Chains A and B, each alone.
Chain A
Amino acid sequence: SQKIEQNSEALNIQEGKTATLTCNYTNYSPAYLQWYRQDPGRGPVFLLLIRENEKEKRKERLKVTFDTTLKQSLFHITASQPADSATYLCALPNYGGSQGNLIFGKGTKLSVKP
């Protein structure tokens, strides 16, 4: 069955540094991958979608890579700020399920210290 792993449960970095979060998947080849941000007690917020034929995508200080050979996506936040502290979820389409539904990783909780 399809599996998603976000290897780090938590990541602590200093303000100004680049945060790098990892998402690995097994047992299928998704057409796209998504990243979301979730703050405590809130619903996730969509950040970026990257398709299988895209190696890299950027949005302001965010950069996502998608390596279909390694079955891995990396999510980078450059010049990180304390306001970037949140849990970041990666999500992949659930091909075994109903239309458009996603499987989410457990998330990586990022803490950016001033």
Chain B
Amino acid sequence: GAVVSQHPSWVICKSGTSVKIECRSLDFQATTMFWYRQFPKQSLMLMATSNEGSKATYEQGVEKDKFLINHASLTLSTLTVTSAHPEDSSFYICSATKRGLAGGREQYFGPGTRLTVT
């Protein structure tokens, strides 16, 4: 299988605080991990691409100082939303691709984290 977990599954925080979301590949080593954000009735919007041991690549319009990504190992990536504001409230989803998989690039998604900033 290819199971990806996320923790927490939901979190409520106060405006101005920081929140860390963990993404783990449980039964495989991930070449690359991706972080997405999804607003209601919208598609997945890629925020950043992360490889183990190197700096994340952020998509245009995503503030790297606000959304800190740390890819500490081949099975763990974290996203920290710093100084969160109500407009950061969204559904954050990570995904991973398998190491050594040639050809297609199917992604294995975590269950998502619902962030609400009050």
Which residues of A does B touch, CB under 8 Å? Answer: 32, 34, 36, 41-46, 49, 51, 89, 93-94, 97-107
Residues from 18 to 57 in B contacting A, C-beta threshold 8 Å? 31-32, 34, 42-44, 46, 49, 51, 57
Q: How large is the interface on B (under 10, 10 to 19, 20 to 34, 35 or more residues)?
A: 20 to 34
Answer yes or no: B64 CB below 8 A from chain A CBs.
no
A46-B106, A97-B59, A102-B107 known; A107-B43 Cβ under 8 A: yes
B6 to chain A, nearest CB (A): 8
* A99–B32 touching, CB < 8 Å: yes
CB of B114 within 8 Å of the partner chain: yes
Q: How far is the CB of B41 from chain A (nearest CB, A)?
A: 8
- Which of B46, B104, B106 is the one whose CB lies under 8 Å from A97? B46
Q: Which residues of B contact A104 (CB under 8 A)?
A: 43-44
Per the bound structure, the CA–CA distance linking A34 and B108 in Å amounts to 12
Minimum CB–CB distance from B38 to chain A (whole Å) comes to: 9
Bound-state CA distance A77–B90 (Å) is 31
| Number of cross-chain contacts by CB at 8 Å | 65
From A109, which residue of chain B is reached at the shortest CB distance? B41
- Closest CB-CB distance, B5 to chain A, in whole Å? 10
Q: Are B109 and A43 in contact (CB under 8 A)?
A: yes
Contacts of A44 in B (CB 8 A): 44, 93, 95, 107, 109
- A94 to B97 alpha-carbon distance, docked (Å): 15
Interface readout for B50-73 with A: 1 if CB under 8 Å, 0 if not? 010000010100000000000000
CA distance A32 to B94 in the complex (A): 21
Which A residues touch B43, using CB under 8 A?
89, 104-107
Q: Given the complex, which residues of B lie within 8 Å of A99, measured CB to CB? A: 32, 49, 51
Task: Give the 6 A-B CB pairs with smallest separation, nearest first.
Answer: A43-B109, A98-B49, A100-B105, A106-B43, A49-B104, A46-B106
Residue with the highest number of chain A CB atoms closer than 10 Å, among B51, B57, B106, B112: B106
A89 to B103, CA, bound (A): 20
Taking CB atoms, residues of chain A closer than 8 Å to B57 are 98
